[in-house]
Amino acid sequence: LAPDEALFRRKDAPERYAEHDIYRAHEWELPNGGQGVLPKSDLLKALHEYSSGFYGALNRSQGVLDSGRNLDERSMDETALLALGILLEEAGREVLGRRGHLVFTEGAND
């Protein structure tokens, strides 16, 4: 389940309008619609899916903390997800370098 779907399926979720979608507020509040500032949504969805699968596989009896909340509820909230996405994008840029994206292209056949 994608984060935006979970948010707007709640009982008291706000009404969702395309022109004032609070989930997409970054598109009008950040420079260039958040391009180059925030991680790509596909990356965040993949991270969310991986982390939810990872924490879901943990034994629930081991994942309950003193407050009674599950471990995953405290470990991968939206802020942590964004931070991890930014770190992964920066690590990818550092590893691949300025022209690293060309590693996925084929050479021209003569």
Does residue 64 sit in helix, strand or coil? Answer: strand
* Interatomic CA distance for residues 38 and 30, integer angstroms: 9
* Interatomic CA distance for residues 18 and 10, integer angstroms: 18
* Interatomic CA distance for residues 80 and 25, integer angstroms: 19
Residues in the chain: 110
pLDDT digits (tens, 9 = 90+) for 42-83: 888 899 888 877 777 765 556 555 555 555 556 777 888 888
The rounded Cα 40 to chain-centroid distance in angstroms is 8
- Is 2 in contact with 45 (CB distance < 8 Å)? yes
Q: Where are the domains of the chain?
A: 1-38, 39-97
Q: Is the pTM of this model over 0.75?
A: no
Confidence bin at 39 (pLDDT 50/70/90): confident
